[in-house]
Amino acid sequence: MQNFDLSPLFRSSIGFERMQRALDQATRLDNAANAYPPYDIEVSGEDSYRITLAVAGFDQNDLEITAKENSLVVSAQAKTEEAEEKEYLHRGIARRAFERRFELADHVKVVGASMDNGLLNIDLVREVPQSLKPRKIEISTSKMKALESNAA
């Protein structure tokens, strides 16, 4: 694997720490460890999204979802007592512990989670504050200002 030194790009940048962290993480990815569990990210509306993780073999009590600042962490730890009671001829359903991290954009909030047929669905919505939404600015001319001042 080839490593890239991106430090010259960061010498003159201010306020791009999240981007720098994301680039650093991308260069250190281990694809085998990062492939479990498989997931989908879908757009379910103009400002709404859904993350679906395949968590077959896990109970909802085994899963933990944590949203903090601009990150979402989904982790699972299977209960060992249940697995020790059973005797298997073949064990193909992976129940290994995992932690999956998602970087969320600004103003994206987790609104709910549900589990159906071994799929964990996490619903997200982007809520942009009114002060940050685009607004139309009226353009006035100097003739309008003169008329307004004469009327007063």
- CATH for 110: 2.60.40.790
> Could you tell me if residue 136 is inside a domain?
no
Please report the pLDDT score of residue 54 as a whole number. 92
Q: Kindly tell me the sign of the dihedral angle through the C-alpha atoms of 45, 49, 54, 59.
A: negative
Comparing 94 with 121, the larger pLDDT belongs to 121
- Average pLDDT over the chain, rounded to an integer: 78
What does the alpha-carbon distance between residue 128 and residue 141 come to, in Å, rounded to a whole number? Answer: 32
> Could you tell me if residue 106 is inside a domain?
yes
At residue 11 the predicted structure's pLDDT band, cuts being 50, 70 and 90, is low
Please report the pLDDT score of residue 114 as a whole number. 94
Q: Is the pLDDT of residue 82 over 60?
A: no
What does the alpha-carbon distance between residue 65 and residue 47 come to, in Å, rounded to a whole number? Answer: 21
Q: What's the CA angle centered on 46, arms 103 and 107, to 5 degrees?
A: 40
> Could you tell me if residue 150 is inside a domain?
no
Please report the pLDDT score of residue 138 as a whole number. 85
> Could you tell me if residue 66 is inside a domain?
yes
Please report the pLDDT score of residue 22 as a whole number. 67
> Could you tell me if residue 57 is inside a domain?
yes
> Could you tell me if residue 123 is inside a domain?
yes
> Could you tell me if residue 26 is inside a domain?
no
CB 108 within 8 A of CB 130: no
Is the bond preceding 8 in cis, omega lying within 30 degrees of 0?
A: no
Extract the tokens encoding 118.
């071994």
Q: Is the pLDDT of residue 111 over 90?
A: yes
Residue with tokens 């949203």: 67
- Element of type H or E holding 134: none
Q: Which domain holds residue 118?
A: 38-129
Q: Kindly tell me the sign of the dihedral angle through the C-alpha atoms of 122, 125, 126, 130.
A: negative
Please report the pLDDT score of residue 5 as a whole number. 65
> Could you tell me if residue 125 is inside a domain?
yes
- Total structural domains within the chain: 1
DSSP 3-state of 38: coil
Please report the pLDDT score of residue 121 as a whole number. 95
